[in-house]
Amino acid sequence: MGRDRFRSVGALAPQDGWKAELALDRGRSPPRPVELAEVGREVASDGVALAALLRACELATRVVHPAVLPVQGLVERGGGMALASAHHPGVALPELLAAGGPLAPPLAIRVAGQVARALEAIHGLTTPGERPLVHGAIGPEAVRIGLAGEVLLVGLGRPSAAGPVDDVAALVALLGRLDPDPPAEVAAALGELTGGEASAGALWRALEAAVAPAEPAQLALWLERMAPEALAAAQARERSVAQAVEEEGSAPAAEPQRPASTPPPRPAPIAGCAMPPSSPAGGPGQAAPLVPAGPAVAAPIAGPSVPEPDWFAPPAASPPPLKGVPPRAGPRPPAVPTAPLAPGAPPVLERGVGVFDHLGQGASIPDLPRLPAAPDAFLERLGDDRLRAPIAAVAALLGLVLGWLGGR
């Protein structure tokens, strides 16, 4: 026979006469704490009562409200059935009242207002043609104060012949137990609500309009000061739950902590890489960069070294002059600046530059003159005897060619 799905952790306060316990649901991963309310054999053996229980439980699982303890459904437990609900740590309201007495008006309005909000959500959930869902057992036993001051309505999902109006009337009676001597504003607000027309929504709006409710932190402080023993018992239950979860082996294993004096292990160096001296290896919170080992520049290839030529340096010696161009004798004459153009004058070429001198040839092409209007003027402007003979030879050759062509 396999082990039981639920592991009992401790007993809880009875809920509307139903025996309740806190258990660990080992059927889930990880195990979770649940609250189980045992279904009496008289209900389980009665077909009509069991059908009503199934319907109430199915509707209760649909309620989602921060002031309602979630209902999970019916489960098998020890050969019988149990109503499972989510677990929320806290102290039952009867324990708080027994230890601290009646609540201050803001605290009482806080508790009653949250229960009224929860009832409004419960009464609004129904199916067409059927009675709305009700709690049916509103009282101190149905209210729990969380460790942070939150208010929860517990015990939902049980069949009841009561109606929404009965829930509201029971809540008004609960408010009288929370604060037997309410302020005049609260009494006036309750007097305006008639039993046949009262609703949970109208009740909490009237109460919170009469007196500002306390904050959850104020209710938690009241619980800490007025019911320290009940609060300590609730905290002890939570430690038992944590221990049970750990014993089931579902708690994640904590990472082993190294002593503070022991530095973290240094990783093995990578081949070909060295750690820079400015960044210590294995420092806390930083990864040292990898630096290639050895010299940063590769060794030169063995063999004769060929110097890189300087293409912009002047030559060591001038090369021989060009054929047919004698070298210039004496210093180079200064350039003659070009006169500005007169309006309407033809374009003028700029004065030429001795490009061969730039290349170190020792000779210069004569400066280009302005464009001449006639060949004679062109020859007059040349002023260099070195080109007269070549030009005359070209002119004579051109004359011979033209004469030969004319004779044909």
More confident residue, 226 or 323: 226
Q: What is the rounded distance in angstroms from the CA atom of residue 86 to the CA atom of residue 36?
A: 9
54: part of which helix (H) or strand (E)? helix 47-60
Report the Cα 97 to chain-centroid distance in Å: 45
Q: What is the rounded distance in angstroms from the CA atom of residue 158 to the CA atom of residue 54?
A: 9
Q: What is the mean pLDDT of residues 296-324?
A: 53
Question: In this structure, how many other beta carbons lie within 10 angstroms of the beta carbon of residue 123?
Answer: 20
Contact (CB, 8 A) for 35 and 19: no
Q: In the structure, what pLDDT confidence band is assigned to residue 384 with cuts at 50, 70 and 90?
A: low
Strand 273-274 to 143-146 pairing: unpaired
Question: In this structure, how many other beta carbons lie within 10 angstroms of the beta carbon of residue 169?
Answer: 16
Statement: 6-247 belongs to CATH 3.10.450.50: no
Q: What is the mean pLDDT of residues 77-85?
A: 89
Tokens found for residue 388? 């007269």
User: Model confidence over 34-44: pLDDT tens digits?
Assistant: 999 999 888 87
User: Model confidence over 176-235: pLDDT tens digits?
Assistant: 999 998 888 888 888 877 655 678 988 989 998 889 999 999 999 999 999 999 999 999
Q: What is the pLDDT of residue 247?
A: 87
Q: What is the rounded distance in angstroms from the CA atom of residue 397 to the CA atom of residue 392?
A: 9
Tokens found for residue 261? 């004096």
Please say whether the dihedral angle defined by the alpha carbons of residues 277, 282, 285 and 287, taken in this order, is positive or negative. positive
Q: In the structure, what pLDDT confidence band is assigned to residue 283 with cuts at 50, 70 and 90?
A: very low
For residue 61, the one-letter residue type is: T
Q: What is the rounded distance in angstroms from the CA atom of residue 70 to the CA atom of residue 156?
A: 8
* CA dist list (Å): 111 to 37, 97, 235: 24, 12, 21
The yes-or-no verdict on residue 295 having pLDDT over 80 is no
Contact (CB, 8 A) for 165 and 197: no
The yes-or-no verdict on residue 318 having pLDDT over 70 is no
Q: What is the pLDDT of residue 332?
A: 56
- The 8-class DSSP code of residue 68 comes to B
Strand partners, 232: none
User: Model confidence over 362-377: pLDDT tens digits?
Assistant: 444 444 444 444 455 5
Tokens found for residue 322? 């060009």
DSSP assignment of 214-231: PPHHHHHHHHHHH-HHHH
Tokens found for residue 306? 């060929």
**Percent of the chain's residues with pLDDT above 70:** 63
Tokens 């060929």 -> residue: 306
Closest among 60, 240, 65, 274 to 155, alpha carbons compared:
60
The yes-or-no verdict on residue 357 having pLDDT over 80 is no
Tokens found for residue 13? 């306060």
Contact (CB, 8 A) for 350 and 338: yes
Question: In this structure, how many other beta carbons lie within 10 angstroms of the beta carbon of residue 146?
Answer: 17
Give the global pTM: 0.60
Contact (CB, 8 A) for 349 and 368: yes
Backbone angles phi, psi at 155, to 5 degrees: 85, 20
* Average pLDDT for the chain: 75
Domain segments of the chain as ranges: 6-247, 369-400
* Three-state DSSP state, 145: strand
More confident residue, 169 or 358: 169
Backbone angles phi, psi at 92, to 5 degrees: -65, 145
Tokens 């000061």 -> residue: 225
Tokens found for residue 295? 């010299």
CB neighbours of 165 closer than 8 A, spacing ≥ 6? 195, 196, 198
Tokens found for residue 159? 């069949």
Q: What is the rounded distance in angstroms from the CA atom of residue 59 to the CA atom of residue 57?
A: 5
Q: What is the rounded distance in angstroms from the CA atom of residue 284 to the CA atom of residue 265?
A: 11
Q: What is the pLDDT of residue 79?
A: 80
